[in-house]
Amino acid sequence: STAEKPVLLNNVADAVAFISGAEVAVIGFFQDPQSPEEEQYRRAAGQIPEVPFGLSRSAAVLSHYGASASTVALFRRADNDRRDLDMSNGDVDSEKLMRFVRMNELRMVTEYNPVTAIGVMQSSLELNLLLITDKMSPKHPEQMRIFRAAAELYRGKILFILLDSNLKSNERVVSYFQLKKSQLPALAIFHTPDDEHDVLTLDEISIERVQDFCNRFLQ
């Protein structure tokens, strides 16, 4: 609940456990509990209930993460990366902070939209695997369960992305891979530095098929 957010992290062990317990975790490093930055941080935390927010004033924790005071750090499991936002100059309000989180909250499977697209492009991972499918399909929950399980096998190597073919904003991506709606669902793997890609249309998705497709492309 928003009443419990953010979680106070008093030592390094608490912070490590907090980060490892979530696909995406945010920690605000503050020293003055009365600061306007911390107030904005608390406000943002209350607006994003599905992302865990922590807060630390411990010098040991700040030192462990090499963070300066009034810094917000977002940690994510999908590409083992971290993104920092400096709040010390006072021009970051809760709206900007929420946008920073929304843009950078890449998941084990990230749903593609105009906001997450920015974070996807800025990821250190150069390989993206897209599941292009109709989210309204009765098969969708099972497809996602399999796709998530496969994502764990390529953590830190390939970014797994869900692309809903129903969204008008995604039509350009579908046509880029020269796919028609009648050919979906499909997997598309993409190497960002040189635009090299491959496409596999699917009747059924399985972990083995995802692995075969990824491994073939990696080789």
pLDDT digit string, tens, across residues 21-51:
999 999 999 998 889 999 999 999 999 999 9
> Does pLDDT of 3 surpass 80?
no
> Does pLDDT of 169 surpass 80?
yes
Residue with tokens 């957010």: 5
**In contact, 199 and 213? CB cutoff 8 Å:** no
Return residue ranges of the chain for CATH 3.40.30.10: 7-104, 110-218
> Does pLDDT of 1 surpass 60?
no
Task: Look up residue 178 and give its DSSP letter.
Answer: T
**In contact, 184 and 201? CB cutoff 8 Å:** yes
In tens, the pLDDT along 92-150 reads: 899 999 999 999 999 999 999 989 999 999 999 999 999 999 999 999 999 999 999 99
Q: What are phi and psi of 21, to 5 degrees?
A: -85, 5
Segments of the chain assigned E as strands: 7-8, 24-29, 53-56, 71-76, 81-86, 109-111, 127-133, 158-164, 186-191, 196-201
What 3 state SS string does 183-216 have? HCCEEEEEECCCCEEEEEECCCCCHHHHHHHHHH
**In contact, 70 and 21? CB cutoff 8 Å:** no
Q: Which fold has domain 7-104?
A: Glutaredoxin (3.40.30)
Amino acid at 150: A
Beta bridge pairs of residue 160: 109, 129
Q: What are phi and psi of 170, to 5 degrees?
A: -100, -5
Indicate the pTM of the whole model.
Answer: 0.89
Q: ∠ CA(2), CA(74), CA(57), 5° rounding?
A: 70
CA proximity to 53, closest of 86, 92, 16, 8: 8
Mean predicted lDDT score pLDDT of the chain: 94
Number of Cα atoms under 13 Å in the Cβ half of residue 81: 20
Tokens matching residue 146: 């399999």
pLDDT value, residue 118: 92
Question: Chain centroid to CA 164: how far?
Answer: 16
In tens, the pLDDT along 60-75 reads: 999 999 999 999 999 9
CATH number of 110-218: 3.40.30.10
